[in-house]
């Protein structure tokens, strides 16, 4: 990873707590009163101090948050911060001369992190400056509570992505085989299992989250190939006690579940024919609810993680057409159910079903 020689700070000015509510739309059922959340904006500045490049990947019950940046100038670059105890952040590194960057995807209650790592597989000398070029590949990584990293490569795969982790350190993700086909995997202390959804129309499988009960959520591509969806349409799945269940956000052309907690609540992203940019959803006890950051000027909300307290993290995107470098700033957010929210009881007592 590139040495930056700087200390990342989440300044008081860049953390904005907004007491707002947003209306939710319940599909297929009678609409209920809006759910109450406190939204916190989290902007981690780039080395040069710029804001608007932050995305939050996941949050645990201890208030630890992991995430990264959308700026291509930094390459893969992950951070860890704790908004309860301090506002400084720590760069996530995997020691080793061949690991040049990390992209955290999830964190468990022990502070263990799973994600992607950019790993050098070949160095080629050339006569002119910079005298060599490097060939890299994407591998998964697991960072334990002591900060030690394990690189995860599915045997024979040319790409491995670690995406979800539970409190037992079990990891799920996907890998690409020699034929270019993506399969899901389950990893536990160095042992792999392949996960392919058993649906006859399924083409590719990507698990994205695993909870402490052993439930796994993710998405797959079906065989409904169109010009707009050359790999097929994206559909959600839940694995629970040996049974795979497929699900879709109502009237969506693409459904991407990204995480779930121990109460079975699932968060994800969906797209419709009229809104291809994607919106976010919460699935609780069989009920879909749209989830949007309620700030003015927001053009898209992308959720990425949910913990057992019901806190949801992700990023929201605004429009700034006058900035040619970053016309769509990305800001991280943390959404916490308020005490009076009906969802607080749901997050602590119910088990979601489809």
Q: Is 12 helix (H, G, I), strand (E, B) or coil?
A: helix
Q: Mean pLDDT check: name the lowest of 88-97, 137-146, 275-284, 291-300.
A: 88-97
Question: Dihedral of CA 304/141/212/309: which sign?
Answer: negative
Q: Mean pLDDT check: name the lowest of 33-47, 87-101, 106-120, 269-283.
A: 33-47
Joined tokens for residue 163: 């995406």
pLDDT of residue 16: 28
Give me the chain's average pLDDT, please: 83
Residue 211 zone, left/alpha/beta (φ > 0; ψ -120 to 50; rest): beta
- Res. 4: pLDDT tops 70: no
Distance set, CA 211 to CA 7, 43, 147, 148, 168 (Å): 33, 28, 22, 22, 9
Kindly give the pairing relationship between strand 287-291 and strand 298-306: unpaired
Name the pLDDT band for 1 (thresholds 50, 70, 90). Answer: very low
Average pLDDT over residues 332-344: 74
Q: Between these two residues, 99 and 6, which has the higher pLDDT value?
A: 99
Average pLDDT over residues 19-29: 26
Average pLDDT over residues 68-75: 77
Q: Tokens 């005298």 sit at which residue?
A: 131
Spatial separation of the C-alpha atoms in residues 328 and 132, rounded to whole Å: 34
Spatial separation of the C-alpha atoms in residues 48 and 305, rounded to whole Å: 28
Number of other CB atoms surrounding residue 18 within 10 Å: 13
Distance of CA 125 to the CA centre of its chain: 36
Q: Is 345 helix (H, G, I), strand (E, B) or coil?
A: helix
Name the pLDDT band for 35 (thresholds 50, 70, 90). Answer: low
Helix locations, the chain, DSSP H: 342-349
pLDDT of residue 102: 93
DSSP 191: E
Number of other CB atoms surrounding residue 302 within 10 Å: 22
pLDDT of residue 86: 57
Distance set, CA 245 to CA 216, 221, 250, 306 (Å): 11, 14, 16, 20
Q: In this structure, are residues 331 and 54 in contact, taking their beta carbons and an 8 Å threshold?
A: yes
Average pLDDT over residues 179-196: 97
Whole-model pTM? 0.84
Q: Is 226 helix (H, G, I), strand (E, B) or coil?
A: coil
Q: pLDDT tens across 285-299, in order?
A: 999 999 999 998 999
Distance set, CA 257 to CA 50, 326, 338 (Å): 31, 27, 24
Q: pLDDT tens across 42-64, in order?
A: 998 887 778 889 999 999 999 99
pLDDT of residue 231: 82
pLDDT of residue 88: 62
Q: In this structure, are residues 209 and 258 in contact, taking their beta carbons and an 8 Å threshold?
A: yes
pLDDT of residue 95: 84
């Amino acid at each position: 990873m590139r040495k930056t020689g700087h200390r990342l700070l989440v300044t008081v000015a860049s953390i904005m707590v907004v007491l707002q509510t947003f209306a939710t739309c319940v599909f297929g059922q009678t609409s209920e009163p809006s759910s109450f959340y406190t939204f916190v904006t989290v902007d981690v500045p780039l080395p040069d101090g710029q804001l608007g490049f932050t995305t939050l990947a996941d949050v645990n019950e201890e208030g630890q948050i992991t995430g990264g940046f959308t700026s291509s100038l930094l390459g893969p670059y992950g951070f860890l911060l704790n908004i309860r105890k301090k506002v400084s952040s720590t760069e996530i590194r995997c020691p080793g001369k061949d690991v040049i960057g990390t992209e955290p995807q999830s964190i468990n209650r022990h502070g263990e992190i799973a994600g992607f790592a950019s790993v050098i597989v070949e160095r080629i000398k050339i006569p002119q400056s910079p005298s060599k070029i490097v060939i890299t590949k994407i591998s998964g990584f697991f960072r334990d509570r002591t900060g030690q990293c394990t690189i995860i490569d599915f045997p024979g795969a040319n790409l491995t992505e670690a995406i979800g982790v539970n409190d037992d350190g079990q990891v799920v993700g996907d890998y690409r085989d020699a034929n270019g086909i993506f399969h899901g995997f389950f990893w536990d202390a160095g042992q792999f299992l392949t996960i392919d959804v058993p649906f006859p129309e399924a083409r590719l499988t990507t698990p994205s989250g695993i909870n402490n009960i052993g439930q796994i959520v993710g998405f797959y591509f079906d065989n409904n190939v169109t010009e707009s969806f050359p790999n097929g349409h994206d559909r959600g799945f839940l694995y629970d006690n040996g049974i795979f269940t497929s699900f879709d956000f109502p009237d969506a052309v693409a459904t991407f579940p990204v995480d779930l907690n121990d109460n079975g609540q699932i968060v994800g992203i969906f797209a419709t024919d009229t809104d291809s940019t994607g919106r976010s959803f919460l699935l609780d006890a069989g009920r879909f609810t749209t989830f949007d950051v309620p700030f003015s000027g927001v053009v898209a909300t992308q959720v990425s993680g949910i913990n057992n307290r019901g806190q949801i993290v992700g990023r929201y995107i605004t429009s700034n057409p006058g900035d040619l470098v970053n016309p769509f700033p990305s800001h991280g957010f943390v959404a916490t159910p308020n005490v009076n929210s009906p969802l607080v009881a749901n997050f602590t007592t119910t088990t979601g079903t489809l």
